[in-house]
A and B are shown apart, each in its own frame.
Chain A
Amino acid sequence: MSTTTDRAQTSATAPPPRHDVVRVTVPRRSFNSELRAIRIVWRRELIRFRADRIRIATSLVQPLLFLFVLGAGLQGLARAGTHGVELKTFIYPGILCIAVMFTAMFSAASIVWDREFGFLREMMVAPVRRSSIVIGKCLGGATVAGFQGVIVICLAGLVHVPYAPLLILGIFGLQLLLAFSITAFGVMIAVRIKQMQSFMGVMQMVVMPMFFISGALFPVSGLPGWLAVLNRLDPLTYAVDPMRRLVFQHLNFSPLARHALDPGVTWWGWHVPGLLEAGVIAALGLVMLGIAIWEFSATE
């Protein structure tokens, strides 16, 4: 079976010299090997994102449309109620959230692609915990979505949100948390879905309502009862609200504007502090990560 002639000759006279085959061994599973698995799954998401420049560009179109077309177009209509605050400044936190959310969901969708194109099997048969794969995926999706968020954060100046270090840091942290939780949510759904079309359908069904109900486009006080209930149940509410508060704290608005546009989320009349809101996002993210791991481990 030799392909080269000189090997064929040697084997005719004497037993062929044993090649110095590089023999590697696969160690038993350990904490370190799991960390390596998490890291490589995470890195794969980054490599894929970098290779997909079109995705980076197109995912910017939507926030730009919302901010500048919707923001500028409705400005005149909204002037009466905004007390001098520009509409695009008001909706900026919500738009940042939706940009992060879409990217996170798309990253999670890669599990469905992986299943369709077979790559998932390569990971499923590896001698690593399924949880490592899920954690790597979620961290990868969070990083990619967080990167998308940073691009939108860079646009802050265009909608008159100042680049104050504390403000930027706060928004950055919140959007990263959101990115992780939404990826976990997406992975939880993606593990159960076999086809990309179905995933896209579910995504439209879930993401748009979450966005509209969250108060990204309107203040959360004085809503009709049913909408107020839905709003408090929507996880995205707890990302938009503290971000908006941060923005408003760094701008000089009249108390009237503050009261009307940044009323804050209340539970039975009690103002939910920003830190608790961040905690809600984190807790939901961890719960969904847990469910995703459990589901993923149960599949044969």
Chain B
Amino acid sequence: MSASHTNGNVAAAITVNDLVKTYGEVEAVRGVNFEVATGEVFGFLGPNGAGKTTTINMLCTLAKPSSGSATVAGHDVVRERDDVRRNIGLVFQDPTLDGYLTAQQNLKLHAELYGVQSSLVARRMQEVMEMVGLWERKDSPVATFSGGMRRRLEIARGLMHSPRVLFLDEPTIGLDPQTRRSIWTYIGELKEREEITIFMTTHYMDEAEWCDRIAIMDHGQIVALDAPETLKAQIGRDRVTIHTDDDQATIAALREKFEIEAVIAEGAVTFGVPGGEQFVPRLFAELGIPIRSVNVSRPTLDDVFMSHTGTTIRDAEEDQSKHRNRVMMQMMTGGRR
């Protein structure tokens, strides 16, 4: 997988070389390579447990790579940890605000910790809070804020020190659709206003469409990396999902009669085929198994994900949680050796 599509003239905001992170015997990240150009919105897409957060933690200097190297804003994440930290903003998956303090006090604290010039703190604070629409609430304790307001405040805080790279780990997780949309509006606005590179993770496929480029991660590896449109165009096939009375027989029949490999995803027989609409009449005429419903759709990022991993993101997550439960059970029922 060639990852260097970036323009050679623009200095890369992030470079990653063979990055590996293992926890005991578990390989959370298994050798990833990519570059993010300055000014890009770069998305990391994958199911929970794919290694996205571990990767982001290594780039933010919160976890040490087991091997490999990475630079952020031109600084090595291991050797120049402080230089990296001065140049990045972070919005974590879990809230990290102090509920006792007011919105303003939270941002002030951040500015002091980062050593922002005192003369600029007040102006910068107003600017970032206005951007996320919280200036009027600056004197309210954060404990009184809703989940969406907190996330917006965290984004404002992450920007307080004018970072060159902003990391957003699942910035919209657990938020209602309206708040999710407004957060994306801020991110778009941000890109327009400040010279900033945005690196984010998400497991919402529709949100990945906002990114300039995305990397799809699965089982600790990058399986695809390009602009969302390019990735979708590469599929070149429509997705057909059918409900039948006998899914196994259908899969066998599809293989035999049309030479199509189908899988069961989210409870339906699913396959890709060029010119889906033209294919459906043939399907009805030749399959020989009663079909209860048919759905044909243009390729989406879900299909991209599926074509690279053989499963949909939702199924992958269910597998992950099943696996987790199994491990938990083993631990609880005395997996003592």
On A, residues with C-beta under 8 Å from B are 1-3, 16, 19, 21-30, 32-33, 36-37, 39-41, 44, 47-48, 51-52, 114, 117-128, 300
Contact = CB atoms under 8 A, between A and B. Distances in A.
B243 interface: no
Contacts of A47: 100-101, 105
Contacts of B85: 125-127
B66 interface: no
A21 B64 CA distance: 34
A2 to B, nearest CB: 7
Given A26-B161, A117-B95, A118-B95, A128 B101 contact: no
A39 B111 CA distance: 12
13 contacts: A1-B189, A16-B192, A19-B193, A22-B120, A22-B162, A24-B162, A26-B116, A36-B112, A37-B112, A52-B100, A118-B94, A126-B85, A128-B115
B161 A117 contact: no
Given A23-B162, A25-B117, A117-B95, A125 B61 contact: yes
B105 A127 contact: no
Contacts of A3: 185, 189
Contacts of A37: 112-113, 115
Given A37-B115, A121-B62, 5 more contacts: A22-B124, A23-B194, A24-B161, A36-B112, A124-B62
Q: 10 tightest CB-CB pairs across the interface, nearest first?
A: A1-B188, A40-B112, A33-B115, A127-B85, A126-B113, A26-B86, A118-B96, A122-B96, A22-B124, A127-B86
B60 interface: yes
B289 interface: no
Contacts of A1: 185, 188-189, 191-192
Contacts of A128: 113, 115
B82 interface: yes
Contact of B98 (A16, A28, A119): A119
Contact of A300 (B63, B99, B124): B63
Contacts of A22: 120, 123-124, 127, 162
Given A19-B193, A24-B116, A121-B92, A40 B109 contact: yes
Nearest to A44: B109
A39 B61 CA distance: 24
Interface of B: 60-64, 82-83, 85-87, 90, 92, 94-101, 105, 108-110, 112-117, 120-121, 123-124, 127, 141, 160-162, 185, 188-189, 191-194
A118 B92 contact: yes
A23 B117 CA distance: 10
A184 to B, nearest CB: 21
Nearest to B57: A300
A47 B99 CA distance: 12
Nearest to B111: A24
A123 B62 contact: no
Contacts of A117: 95-96, 98-99
Contacts of B82: 28-29, 127
A2 B189 CA distance: 7
A28 B99 CA distance: 29
A119 B96 contact: yes
Contact of B115 (A26, A52, A121, A122): A26
Contacts of B117: 24-25, 27
Nearest to A30: B115
B96 A121 contact: yes
Contacts of B100: 47-48, 51-52
A120 B62 CA distance: 12
A46 to B, nearest CB: 11
B270 to A, nearest CB: 34
A124 B90 CA distance: 12
A211 B110 CA distance: 38
B210 to A, nearest CB: 10
A124 B141 CA distance: 22
B127 A126 contact: no
Contacts of A126: 85, 110, 113-114
A126 to B, nearest CB: 4
| From B87, B99, B112, B124, residue with most partner A Cβ within 10 Å | B112
A25 to B, nearest CB: 7
A16 B63 CA distance: 40
Contacts of B189: 1-3
Given A26-B87, A300-B64, A122 B194 contact: no
A130 to B, nearest CB: 12
A35 to B, nearest CB: 10
A125 B60 contact: yes
A193 to B, nearest CB: 19
B113 to A, nearest CB: 4
| From A19, A25, A125, residue with most partner B Cβ within 10 Å | A125
B116 A39 contact: no
A124 B81 CA distance: 12
Contacts of B86: 26-28, 127
Contacts of B192: 1, 16
Contacts of A24: 116-117, 120-121, 124, 160-162
A127 B192 CA distance: 27
A118 B90 CA distance: 13
Nearest to B86: A26
Nearest to B182: A3
A121 to B, nearest CB: 5
Nearest to B188: A1
A277 B191 CA distance: 61
A47 B109 CA distance: 11
Contacts of A125: 60-62, 85, 90
B157 to A, nearest CB: 8
